[in-house]
Amino acid sequence: MVKITVIKTKPYTDQKPGTSGLRKRVTVFQQNQHYAENFIQSIISTIDPAQRQEGTLVVGGDGRFFMKDAIQLIVQIAAANGIGRLVIGQNGIMSTPAVSCVIRKIKAIGGIILTASHNPGGPSGDFGIKFNISSGGPAPEGITDKIFQISKSLQEYHICPELKVDLSATGKQIFEVDTFKPFTVEIVDSVESYAEMLRDIFDFAALKELLSGPNHINVRLDAMHGVMGPYVRKIVCEELGSPANSAVNCVPSEDFGGHHPDPNLTYAADLVSAMKGGEYDFGAAFDGDGDRNMVLGKHGFFVNPSDSVAVIGANITSIPYFQKTGVKGLARSMPTSGALDNVAKALKMPLFETPTGWKFFGNLMDAGKLSLCGEESFGTGSDHIREKDGLWAVLAWLSILATRKQSVEDIMKDHWQKFGRNFFTRYDYEEVDSDAANKMIDHLQTTMSDKAFLGQKFSSGDKTYQVEKADNFEYTDPVDGSVSKGQGLRIIFSDGSRIIFRLSGTGSAGATIRLYIDSYEKDPQKIYQDPQVMLAPLVDIALRISQLQEKTGRIFISGLKYMYGPKSFGSDTNFVFCKVCCFSICRLFFHMFLWYTKKTMISISYILKAFIGKKSNLYSSLWHAGY
C-alpha cells in the first residue's frame, strides 16, 4: 500500500502560465523548495475531484534536462490526488502533437507536457510544464488563470514520495494507493498512435513514391536532438522509405546536443549549409518538442512560416484529409503576415485573426469553424489535433510536391505571382529589463492614443506611410464571446503595411520585446525584391516611433529575421545584412566593422556584450536570419 503524505509549503507569486505553460530556468525549479511540486499540485487542483478517479492524464516531454525528475513528481502527486490512470511515453518521450493526439484518441481528461519548446535545455537551460485539456489543446485562459490563482495561495500539496515508476519498459504498472482505487501507470510507444493518425490524413503511398520511388527526391530532416528523432526515423525513414541518413540529429538529448532546438536559419545553420550544396531537394528542421517546423528548398531556398501556411492553404486539396472533411476556415495569429488572408480572399474562405497562442485556435476548431492555421513563429497545424504539428506540416509540403511535381522554389514563386507577396520580418530583443520594456510600451501606447497620431505621415528614404489605424489588439472569441485584451500594439498604414510590438510570454527570464514588420506587394516586378530593401523604411519608422533604443538601451542590430527570399542565399559572405545599415552613421560603421573583420560569431558576441553590457543575440541576428 502506497502512503499519501501531506507536505506543507509556501506559495510562489511567479507561477503565471504564459501562452505555452510555465517556463523558467531549470535552476528555478531545482533551487526553490517545492517549486515544481506546487505548480503540479495547482494544475491537478483545477480538475474536478469527481473526474479524477475514472480519468486519465497523458504525460510526455521533449527529453530535456529535469524531465524525468518532473515526471516522477507528476506520478507521485497524481496518485496522491486520486487520478486513476497516467499514460506516459516510453522513457518520458512524447512530442507535443503526439500528446494532443493521444489525449483525443483515449478521451483523457487532459495532459501534462514537460517542455520549454524551442528554448535551450541542459542544467543551465530552460524547463517548462504545460497543461492541455480534454480537447488535446493548451489550457485556455480561464483555466491558466485558475492555476495561477491556486498557486498564489497554495499551503500544502499531496504526494506519494515512495512511488517510483520504470519509464523504460512499455506496459502497465499498478499501485495500491491509500484511500483510492488502484492507480495505473501505462508506459506506451511514443510514436505509434501519432503515426496511425498521420496514415489516415495523408496518402502514404504517394509520399512513399516521392521519397523512395524511381524518381524520388532527396530530403534532409533535422530533429535537432529533440523529441522528433524517433518520429522521423519511424515514419519518414522506415515507413515512407527515405534513406536512414536523410534524418540527422535524431537521438534526443537532455541539452539538445549543446545546441538551441529552434528551427530557424540561425540555429539550424548546419541544415542550411547542407541544403545550399544542392544535394537535397527538400529540407526541414523541428524544435525540441516537435510542434514547430522550418521548410527549405533546394540550394537553401527559405520558406518563411507565414508563407508556408499560405501555400498549404492554397494547395489544401493535395491532402486527402481535407478532401474528406472539407475546408471550414483559415486562421492566423495577429502578428503573422497577411499572406494567408490573400489566399482566404481568393478562395472565398473565412479568415480568423487571433492573438498569439495556439489555444485561441482551439475554440474555433471545436466549433467547426477552422481547418488550417499558422503562426509566424514556425507553427503550422490543422484541426486533426489541437496543437501545432511540425511533422504534419512537413508531410503537407511533401504532399504538395508529390501533387504538383515542382520544386519548393517554383511553388513559392508561383504562389507570389498568383496572390502577391507579404514581405515580413521579426526582431527579438531578449531579456530586456522588465521596467525598461514596460516604459517603452507605455510610451508607445501614449503616442498611439494621441488623436493627432491618426493620419500622421512618416517618411524614410523614398517611402512615405500614413497611419490609418493604431490600437492594442483586442480579440473577441466568436464562439464563447470571451475577450482577450492587450494582445499587441498595432500601427496599420493606409497601404496595409503593419508595425507590431509585443511583449512575449514564452521567455524564461526578463522581458522579450518582439517587433514585427509586414508589407504587401502585388506588383509582379517587385515581388522578388530583397526583403531587406523592401522593409528597411518601415524598420526605421518603427524604431523612431517606439524610441526602443532610447527606452531600453539596446543598440539596434539589423538582425534580419527569417525574411529572406531566393536572392539571399548563395552569397559569398555569411553576413548578408549590409543593405539596411544606412539608417545611422553609427550603425553603418558598426556593420562595416563586422563586414571587414569577419571575426567568428563567438568573438563578435563577446565584443558586443562588452559594448552594451547586456545579453546579445548577435549570432541569431547575423547568421542569415532567425528569431
Of 381, 396, 419, which residue constitutes the final position of a domain? 419
Instruction: Report the SS3 class of residue 503.
Output: strand
Q: Based on the structure, what is the number of domains in the chain?
A: 3
Q: Could you give the maximum distance between any two Cα atoms of the chain, in Å?
A: 78
430 domain-assigned:
yes
Is the model more confident about 125 or about 18? 125
145 and 250 inside one domain: no
211 and 69 inside one domain: no
Q: Does the pLDDT of residue 235 top 70, yes or no? A: yes
Q: Does the pLDDT of residue 449 top 90, yes or no? A: yes
300 domain-assigned:
yes
Of 419, 443, 477, which residue constitutes the final position of a domain? 419
Q: Is the dihedral of CA 386, 391, 397, 400 positive or negative?
A: negative
153 and 208 inside one domain: no
pLDDT (0 to 100) of residue 554: 83
Say which residues have a Cβ less than 8 Å from residue 603's Cβ, sequence separation at least 6.
none
397 and 474 inside one domain: no
515 and 444 inside one domain: yes
Q: Which of 491, 449, 448 is nearest to 469 (CA)?
A: 491
414 and 487 inside one domain: no
Please give the distance of CA 326 from its chain centroid, rounded to a whole number: 26
312 and 176 inside one domain: no
CATH number at residue 591: 3.30.310.50
Task: Please compute, for residue 619, the number of CA atoms within 13 A of its CA located in the half-sphere on the CB side.
Answer: 14
291 and 355 inside one domain: yes
85 domain-assigned:
yes
Task: Find out whether 297 and 384 touch, Cβ atoms under 8 Å.
Answer: no
408/419 Cα distance (integer angstroms): 16
pLDDT (0 to 100) of residue 50: 94
627 domain-assigned:
no
Q: Does the pLDDT of residue 613 top 90, yes or no? A: no
Task: Find out whether 369 and 358 touch, Cβ atoms under 8 Å.
Answer: no
pLDDT (0 to 100) of residue 532: 86
Q: At what angle do helices 531-546 and 434-449 cross, to 10 degrees?
A: 90
The percentage of the chain sitting over the pLDDT mark of 70, rounded to a whole number, equals 88
Instruction: Report the SS3 class of residue 340.
Output: helix
Task: Find the DSSP H helices in 300-366.
Answer: 305-314, 320-325, 339-347, 359-366
282/280 Cα distance (integer angstroms): 6
By CB atoms closer than 10 A (0-12, 13-18, 19+), residue 546 is buried
Highest mean pLDDT range out of 507-516, 538-547, 553-562? Answer: 538-547
Q: At what angle do helices 390-404 and 96-106 cross, to 10 degrees?
A: 100
- Please give the model's pTM, rounded to 2 decimal places: 0.88
pLDDT in tens, 115-138: 999 999 999 999 999 999 999 999
Q: Does the pLDDT of residue 597 top 80, yes or no? A: no
CATH number at residue 95: 3.40.120.10
Provide the pLDDT confidence category of residue 537 given band limits of 50, 70 and 90: very high
Task: Find out whether 295 and 397 touch, Cβ atoms under 8 Å.
Answer: yes
pLDDT (0 to 100) of residue 625: 34
Give the DSSP H or E segment for 145: helix 141-151
Task: Find out whether 201 and 264 touch, Cβ atoms under 8 Å.
Answer: no
Q: What average pLDDT does range 172-200 have in this prediction?
A: 96
Q: Does the pLDDT of residue 100 top 60, yes or no? A: yes
Q: Which of 367, 378, 292 is nearest to 333 (CA)?
A: 378
187/170 Cα distance (integer angstroms): 5
370 and 434 inside one domain: no
Provide the pLDDT confidence category of residue 20 given band limits of 50, 70 and 90: confident
50 domain-assigned:
yes
Q: From the CB of residue 610, how many other CB atoms can be counted at a distance below 10 Å?
A: 9
pLDDT (0 to 100) of residue 506: 56
Provide the pLDDT confidence category of residue 260 given band limits of 50, 70 and 90: very high
pLDDT (0 to 100) of residue 563: 36
pLDDT (0 to 100) of residue 141: 87
274 and 233 inside one domain: yes
Q: Which three cell numbers mark 88?
A: 506516459
Q: Which of 589, 622, 588 is nearest to 604 (CA)?
A: 622
Q: What average pLDDT does range 516-536 have in this prediction?
A: 95
463 domain-assigned:
yes
Q: Is the dihedral of CA 265, 269, 271, 273 positive or negative?
A: positive
pLDDT (0 to 100) of residue 430: 86
DSSP type of residue 3:
P
DSSP type of residue 129:
E
Say which residues have a Cβ less than 8 Å from residue 399's Cβ, sequence separation at least 6.
202, 203, 206, 207, 318, 319
Q: What average pLDDT does range 248-274 have in this prediction?
A: 97
pLDDT (0 to 100) of residue 581: 33
pLDDT (0 to 100) of residue 615: 38
345 domain-assigned:
yes
Residue-range definition of the domain harbouring residue 14 = 5-189
43 domain-assigned:
yes
pLDDT in tens, 371-428: 999 999 999 999 999 999 999 999 999 999 999 999 999 999 999 999 999 999 999 9
Mean pLDDT of the chain: 89
201 and 163 inside one domain: no
401 and 457 inside one domain: no
138/202 Cα distance (integer angstroms): 25
Q: Which residue has the cell 541542459?
A: 122
* Residues belonging to the active site: 117
The residues facing 373 across adjacent strands are 331, 381
Of 189, 214, 231, which residue constitutes the final position of a domain? 189
Q: Which of 90, 129, 183 is nearest to 12 (CA)?
A: 129
pLDDT (0 to 100) of residue 556: 60
Alpha-carbon distances, residue 209 vs 28, 206, 218, 319 (angstroms): 49, 5, 12, 15
Q: Does the pLDDT of residue 623 top 50, yes or no? A: no
pLDDT in tens, 561-596: 333 333 332 222 222 233 333 333 344 344 334 434
Q: What average pLDDT does range 25-40 have in this prediction?
A: 98
Q: Report the range of poorest mean pLDDT among 501-510, 536-545, 599-608.
A: 599-608
pLDDT in tens, 315-372: 999 999 999 999 999 999 999 999 999 999 999 999 999 999 898 999 999 999 999 9
Q: Which residue has the cell 506546487?
A: 38
